[in-house]
């Protein structure tokens, strides 16, 4: 299959597809506690059939042009992923997100993969606004938003109930003109 190299360390970004169900379940099992600190993603996928159902939901979203799921492989092992949780080409607004098991932490995988997704959304698909939603206590996730050059739009106080506890959700965004300008500065500095 195909993938996008994320650098010299062999990290790859690839679509997560229905046939990855067993590999996705093994990944969730390895990282369930870490992944579930702030989000419920992967918490209901406890067998191959439920993992396959999650992958099928996102395959259907891809067909509908309303979302997609992408895996992060490091040293040949699925260690996390990034996604378009929502994707609305008509309004030009999408929401991106991520998750990692401990083996993927601290390698810059999410930031590198998210640059690929945002490039595609803004430059190829013409999206105007890319949003990032994260719990206020999820410092690693908020740091990715910062590294991407996003702006904090606001906080939805106590809006997210997770594991019986209420969390504030921070909304971050970047606009297409900001992304294009940042990419142009990067390209200029590379010469």
Which pLDDT belongs to residue 188? 60
Report which of 75, 83, 90, 91 is spatially closest to residue 35, judged by C-alpha positions. 83
pLDDT of residue 190: 60
- The average confidence (pLDDT) of the chain is 92
Q: What is the percent of the chain with per-residue pLDDT over 90, rounded to a whole number?
A: 74
pLDDT at 170: 95
Give the number of domains in the chain. 1
State pLDDT tens for residues 117-152: 999 999 999 999 999 999 988 999 999 999 999 999
For residue 121, the enclosing domain spans 4-189
pTM comes to 0.90
- Render the burial of 156-165: b for 16+ CB within 10 Å, e for the rest: eeeebeeeee
Which pLDDT tens digit goes with each residue over 49-75?
Answer: 999 999 999 999 999 999 999 999 999
Q: How far apart are CA 4 and CA 73, in angstroms?
A: 10
CA distance 15 to 69: 6
CATH code of the domain covering residue 151: 3.40.630.30
| CA distances (Å), origin 90, targets 47, 104, 128 | 36, 34, 10
Contacts of 76 (CB under 8 A, 6+ apart): 10
């Amino acid at each position: 299959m195909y993938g996008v190299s994320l650098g010299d360390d062999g990290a790859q970004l690839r679509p997560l597809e229905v046939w990855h169900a067993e590999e996705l379940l093994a990944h969730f099992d390895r990282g369930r506690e870490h992944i579930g600190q702030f989000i419920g993603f992967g918490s209901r996928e406890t067998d191959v059939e439920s993992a396959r159902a999650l992958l099928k939901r996102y395959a259907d979203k891809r067909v509908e042009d309303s979302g997609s799921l992408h895996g992060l492989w490091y040293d040949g092992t699925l260690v996390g992923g990034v996604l378009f949780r929502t994707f609305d080409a008509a309004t030009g607004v999408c929401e991106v997100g991520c998750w990692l098991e401990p083996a993927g932490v601290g390698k810059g995988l999410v930031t590198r993969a998210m640059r690929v997704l945002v490039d595609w959304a803004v430059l190829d698909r013409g999206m105007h606004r890319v949003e990032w939603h994260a719990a206020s206590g999820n410092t690693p996730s908020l740091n990715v938003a910062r590294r991407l050059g996003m702006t904090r739009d606001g906080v939805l106080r106590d809006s997210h109930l997770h594991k019986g506890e209420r969390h504030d959700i921070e909304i971050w965004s970047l606009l297409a003109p900001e992304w294009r300008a940042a990419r142009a500065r990067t390209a200029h500095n590379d010469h």
